[in-house]
Amino acid sequence: MSRRLGVASAAMVVGPLLVAALALPGEADVAAAASIAGGLPLAWAAAVSLAASLDATGLAIALAGALPFGAWALASYAPRPSWPDLVALASAAVAGSVSAFALERSARAGHGRARLVVPIVAMASCAAASELAGPWSGAAVSSLVVVLSSLAFARPR
Amino acid sequence: MRAVTVRRVPACRFALAAAAAAALAAVPLVAGAQSVAASGSAAASISPASSLPYAFNEAVVSSRTGLSGRLTVYGLGSDGERYELYRAELGYADAATVTFYAWPSLEAIVTEGLDGDGLPFEARARLERSGFGPSPGAETEPDLSTLEFPMRGRMPGALEADRRPWPLALLALWAALFSLAPLAVLGGRGRLGTAGRSGRYATRRGPAVAETVAAVSATIAIAVLAFALGHARPDLRSAPDDSGATLLGVRSPLEPLPLSSFDGYARLRFQRPPLVIAGDNGRPALAPAPFQAAWALPGRPRE
């Protein structure tokens, strides 16, 4: 049984992220990897979605809520942060959301939390590709995930 | 007699073949070694223009056939340690002026790179010790080598970076709006995300699409703004000390810090030798590195 995003879940997504942003120093002594700095807020949103058994819409909204925090963390803590890094981060979130919608439509997607595992893994893969091969490569992998998910989404049931 | 001859001939042939094979295998090794040695010893050189301690100095690296690819300069300390002091990527250049940090126990600098033909070279230069003596007028200055660096947690507060309020205010506003949005949606038409799906909301597909587009646009705008406002610039902060020296906090973990930031200091003693790279427009800059402190003597750099 999956649920939509409510007030409590929304506050659970952004509340801890805001507290962390306020508690962390304005600038770190050492740089963090771009996928870690930008990806942690998205990972938190994904974890909350899993814990709350949200549906695809809920996951997409949760990721959207965490995206500004990821962008801020990317700019503040990643070495040589650039716009392609932000594009890669946003495209990973989009890939996770679109694949969640596609799986939700699929009859074989499973139920409840299991339905979110594959989109989250896909999103993590996009972030990993971005870290290993550069932000444009990560964005390309995300685009591939979005295209494949869209094809599955468009296929008649 | 014949039996002995028959046995010896294959043995001689085998020995001859083995010797020829060994000689053939050794040819590239010997040739390569000669090539590198000739390139390193005769074709390339590094000439320090100055060797002031606790200061940034310059040296000229040149090669008969030019320079290409990555150029690196290492420093050899009296403790036997090897420090990377300069790094640059060259397309092609006849010669390169490199900037390196020197300290009293730095004995020699070594450069490694590729010449114009793509062959590796190595050249080294010993630093003149005369430049490390006290300079005129320096008797009243504090001795930088005796000053101790405070532990990271006990650095003066002036060295800590300012908190930038605008990105935090933006994130707080976003968090508030995001948390309250489901309430507004519930008040309007039930739970968030139900528009355009079924029942009476199916007739409101147009407005629902418009709301989705607006929400996505707002998310992108806030993310872009948070990214732009959150961008951390390299920073050099100072805290004057009772000794007459100044304690600097060199904070450039994300971006290179131009060496021109140190123009107001005559002497600099870093916690660890910093790496200089060719920054924007080819101007020397400190490579992105973890926070470190430096003791500095205010004034103009002395020659």
Collect the ranges in chain A with pLDDT lower than 70: 1-3, 107-113, 154-157
Q: Is there a contact between B216 and B223 (Cβ–Cβ < 8 Å)?
A: no
**Confidence (pLDDT) at B192:** 46
Q: Which of residues 187-226 of B touch A (CB under 8 A)?
A: 191-194, 215-216, 219-220, 222-226
Angle of helix A114-133 relative to helix A34-51, nearest 10 degrees, comes to 180
Tell me what pLDDT residue A78 has.
87
Pairing of strands B235-240, B246-252: antiparallel
User: Does the complex come out with an ipTM higher than 0.85?
Assistant: yes
Of A30, A68, A73, the CB nearest to B222: A68
Bridge partners (DSSP) listed for residue B246: B240, B296
d(CA B127, nearest CA chain A) in Å? 33
- pLDDT value, residue B16: 47
* Dist CA B22 CA B26 (whole Å): 6
Q: Per the CB < 8 Å rule, is B228 touching A75?
A: yes
Q: CA of B178 to nearest chain A CA: how many angstroms apart?
A: 7
Q: Give the model's pLDDT for residue B33.
A: 32
* Closest residue to B193, CB basis, from A4, A22, A67: A4
Q: Which residue numbers in chain B have pLDDT < 50?
A: 1-9, 11-12, 14-16, 19-42, 131, 191-202
pTM of structure:
0.73
Is A74 within 8 Å of A96 (Cβ atoms)?
Answer: no
Closest by alpha carbon to B145, among B14, B270, B303, B7?
A: B270
The pLDDT of residue B51 is: 83
Residues 12-31 of chain B whose Cβ lies under 8 A from any Cβ of chain A = none
- With b for 16 or more beta-carbon neighbours within 10 A and e for fewer, the B120-137 pattern comes to ebbbebebeeebbeeeee
Across the interface, of B168, B192, B291, the residue whose CB is closest to A21 is: B168
Q: What is the predicted pLDDT for the residue at A116?
A: 83
**Can you tell me the distance from the alpha carbon of B229 to that of B225, in angstroms, rounded to the nearest whole number?**
6
For testing the chain B interface, which of A22, A27, A97, A98 should be mutated: the one with the most B CBs within 10 Å? A27
Name the residue of chain B whose CA is nearest to A75's CA: B231
Neighbours of A114 (CB within 10 A): 12
